[in-house]
Structures are given as structure tokens and as C-alpha cells.
Amino acid sequence: MIRITYSTSDVSLAVEAKELDNLELIPHNPKNPKLFRDFPLIGSQKFHFPFILNGFKFNPTEDRDGILLHSKEGIDAIQNREIIDTAYNAASEFTTWLINHGARNLFITALSRLPDEKWSDTSKPWIVENVQEYREFIYNSEVVETADEGVIIPLSDACIPNYGLSRESKLQFYNLVKFLKGADHVPAESLILDWIDFVGPTSEEDLWPEKIYYGLEDLMEELSDLGSLESLLESEAIQAISDKSVIRRKNTIRWINELIKFLVEQKESELLNDYAIIPNHNHNFLLLNDLFIEDIEDPINDEFLDLMEPLDKDWRDDIIHSLVKINGIIVTVIGLSDVSEKVNEILKEKVHLANNRFKWKFKDREDKLERLIQILRIVGKDSKQDSFKNQIFSFGKEIFGFDDELEQVDHVETFRFENALRLFIELINSKIEEMENLAALSDNLRISLSDTKIWINDYLTLLHDKSDFEHLLKFGWVIPDRYGDFKLYDDLRNYGTVDTPLDEDLLKILLELDENEDWKLELLHECISFSMAETTKFEELGNKIQEIAFQLQKDDLSEPTMGHLEKL
């Protein structure tokens, strides 16, 4: 160990270093005196100064535990103040020499807090001025050895992280700040506690030219001002982490989680409601009390979040980013069941009209088909192709001609599809009604008429066999009659019984007898395999023919020239 000195005609300054070829400065033991008048002034360790100070002409106190400073007119005090003025100037010159000669541990030069004295109205302004002038010099000097090895910067360009009561918490905070500000803007980790100690108490921070400490709320404010995860990722410090965006993003999310954990451990989590630093699913920073957290037992897949924006609003704005961990804080939970509830609320919303009437608001949307497709295309991983929902989706795809495919996701169990499925079936039925007959439907489907008959039977039978949706057979004109024209369910009857079907020739005879008796308009098409509620029996057909024939015979007897029975 060596001692380096710097002398003028009035003072000598000294600092210890490990060796001449290695100017690693050694902090002065705070238990030892700081002032000398040839010999140490015992008790002067509270006179805070960057170096050991020997004043050749100091006027010590009677007890030699300090120097006289406070008298306005006392010669000894005036002379001592002049020597201290010289000492501060010498300290600036000595610091410059140390910088130029590559000295390390330059935090020592920042020690400039007010000496622990009972200052008078005369001495207090004087010492404050000296401290401020010296701090101005240090502030603009390259004295900060950064965490980026070999990089030394002026204190004015440095960030001195300072938060926490324990050594551990101070270092945790330091590392959080280093990530945000960059290794080239903070002192080396091995030096940060010394920097905090030598810069001095926050109560004297206003004696520095600018705010010098970077506290917890400074970090929170800076992060909040960035506004989004993307802006944070674009910052110079984060860009320097890696040339791979995936790594930068992964490390940044991990850092945010460490920051949140730190806030909880330090009992500062309320700051999350004062500063918007929690990223949502859209990567924007929001206040914690404006966000929900996704239920891990009822997760919401992206496919469900995608459908919320056009239906309601972008729920990603309100949900904490899926990779952000919030532990030890109470946050309102939201899950897929909540999405389901909101979607179904929208699908069932009524608009009340006059005379106690209403209409379904969703049905007036121009994008209703697009939205229903978006909902119904979502299926579970174990979904079967022949499930009722998937078959209905397939029929819709064929009649509307859209390209969307079924999308398998991990979790769908708590989403209720029934209302969307009902509305989708109604749209299919409306499209069938719009076609008016099997021939037009065949053109729309771009398949043969025979295949169209199979298609309509499969679709209607699917509804017929599903008790919860069977009633939709009565929605629209969708059941083909014997001519292939679509009719209302309640307007059609069965074509006789299985054992005794009706006869086409007899139906033709009936129509020839009376052009108003075209029963084929009310009879179910032969392509439909299920039965209607009502049946036209063979006996009814026979009786009707007899009834008309009898009436015609009767008319011929009364008016023989008319020839009513000639058509028979």
C-alpha cells in the first residue's frame, strides 16, 4: 500500500492506493481523523472531505479535535476558512491528476457532504458554496467506472441507483436499474454501495447540480413514460442485450417479473396502481387496478380473444400479458367463462320496440355471418368431425361458400356455443329460403340436383334428430314439397304412411278433376327421410276423388251438356 500526496503552499492532500503501478484508491477509514496540522486532529473524522487534509497553518480548537470555522470576525476562523477554500481547489486539481493517471475507485473523490459541524450564519453559506462548487466539478468529471468494463463516464452521464435499506435490497434494485439504463450508464456492481455512501445523504442531494440518485419511483416513472413493451424493447439498453429479438423479449419479460416481485417483497406493490408498468396482451403498459389476470384454470386462447374485438372491444387491452407473473397481489381473475358470458349476452341482446315487441340486435349486424363463423370455427382438441356443431359448420361452409376451417384449441369447455349455433342455423335456413327451390339450391351449392336432394335431407335430418335444435325446422321455408319448392314446416304433410303411401296417378287425377286440389304442394318431398307431424292418408285421397267425382256426376245429371265427367 502506498500514499499519494498532492501539495500546495497551504495544504497537502493524501489518498492511499494499493501500489504505484495500480492506482486502485483505498477509502479512508472513517474512524480515523481527516484533518491534520502536522499531527492528526483527533475527532476530525466528521469533517467530510474527499482526501486526508493537512493544513500547514490550520488553527485547531483548544482540544485539537477540529478547526475553528464559525466566527464571523475571528482571525483564526477566517484563516481556516481560507485554507479550506484552497483545499477544495486543490482537491479538484488532485482529482484531475488521478483521472489522468488512470486511478480507480474514483468514488472516493465524490465525498463532499457537509462536515458534521454546528454551523453559524457565517460559516453555513460559506461551506455550502464550497461544496456546491466542488460537486459541480465532480459532476462533470469522468469519475464513474461503469459496469461495462473499461468504460468510464462523467458523473453527469451516470445513474446512481439508490433504494432499499439492506445491502441485498440495494443490490437487487441496482441490477433492475442496470437492465433498464444499460451497463455503460451505472457504476460497476462492486462499486455501487460505495458510490451511495460517498455521494452522501439524500437530504443534501440538492447541493449537486442535478438530481443524482435514481430511486424506485424514478424507475417506475421512466418505465411508465415508455408506454409499452415495444417502446421498452426499442430502448438502447435493451437493444444491446442481443441481436436476436426473441432473446431481448424473453429477458425483458423476465425483468418485468423481477421488478414486480421486488415491489411485492419491498411492500411497494401499491406503486403498480400509481405507475402504469404492467403490460397487457397488446403490450401496452397499464395500471394494475385497470387490469384483470387470466384464470389459469380457465384460460382464454387467442382465438377467443380475437373474436372479442369486433363483437365488444379488444379484451387484450384489459388482461395482463400471459407471461407476466403477479404473485402476492390480489387481482381480479377473468377466464373463458367470462368471455362466453359476454359473447352470449351480445348474441341475445334485445332492442325493445313499440307494443311490447322486440328484435334481436345482433341480427341487424352486417357482419353477423362473419362473427358466427369466427365463433363456431373454434373447436376443442378432442372434437370429432361428425359432432353436431361441426356438421352444422360444414353445411354453412357449403351453402355460404366461405374458406374458414375448424381451428383446434386447448380449452373450450367453459364456452357456450348454443346461441351462436342457433343463429348460424337460422342464417342457413334463411339462405335456403332465399333459394326458393331445390334447383336454385343446386346451383348455389354447385352440385347436381340428386346430390342436392341428399344434402337437404342430411341437413334437415340433422336438425330433426337434435332435440335442442329440432324447433329450427320451423324457422323459414326450408322443407321441400313434392315439386321441390321450399315450404314452412307446418304447411307440409307426410306422403301417406309407410305401408300405404299415396299414389302419383291418383294425385294427378285429383288435380285434373279440380285444378285447386294440387295436393303435391302440401306433401313432403320424397328425398326427406323423416316424418312430418301430420299425414295425408291414402284413404283421404280416395275419398276426395270420390267426393269430387260424385259432385261432377251430379252436375252432369243436372246439366248434361257440360260433360263434367269427360275428363275421367
Burial class for 297, CB neighbours closer than 10 Å (0-12, 13-18, 19+): exposed
What three-state secondary structure class fits 362?
helix
β-pair partners for 333: 293
Q: What is the pLDDT of residue 557?
A: 67
Q: What is the pLDDT of residue 187?
A: 98
For 463-503, the pLDDT digits (tens) are 999 999 999 999 999 999 999 999 999 999 999 998 999 99
What's the rounded Cα separation, in Å, for the pair 372 and 389? 12
Pairing mode, strands 378-380 and 152-154: unpaired
Task: Give me the residue spans of the domains in the chain.
Answer: 1-139, 215-334, 335-480, 492-568
Those residues of the chain that have pLDDT short of 50 are 564, 567
Evaluated on CA atoms 63, 66, 69, 70, the torsion sign reads: negative
Q: Count other C-beta atoms under 10 Å from residue 5's C-beta.
A: 12
What's the rounded Cα separation, in Å, for the pair 16 and 1? 7
- Is 137 in contact with 106 (CB distance < 8 Å)? no
Cα-to-chain-centroid distance, residue 82: 62
Give, for 250, the enclosing helix (H) or strand (E).
helix 245-265
186-190 long-range CB contacts below 8 Å, 24 or more apart?
186/146, 186/147, 186/158, 186/159, 186/160, 186/161, 187/107, 187/144, 187/145, 187/146, 187/147, 187/158, 187/160, 188/145, 188/146, 188/147, 188/149, 189/147
What's the rounded Cα separation, in Å, for the pair 24 and 236? 31
Q: What is the pLDDT of residue 354?
A: 83
**Which residues are CB-neighbours of 16 under 8 A, at least 6 positions away?**
1, 2, 3, 4, 25, 26, 28
Residue 327 has phi, psi (to 5 degrees) of -115, 140
The full DSSP string for 187-221 is B-HHHHHHHHHHH--GGGGGGSSS--EE-HHHHHH
Return the residue matching grid coordinates 460559516: 123
Give, for 369, the enclosing helix (H) or strand (E).
helix 368-376
Return the residue matching grid coordinates 459532476: 139
Name the CA dihedral angle for 519, 522, 527, 531, rounded to a multiple of 10 degrees. -120
- Give CA angle at 510 (508, 516), nearest 5°: 105
Burial class for 509, CB neighbours closer than 10 Å (0-12, 13-18, 19+): middle
| pTM greater than 0.75 (yes/no) | yes
Q: What is the pLDDT of residue 68?
A: 87
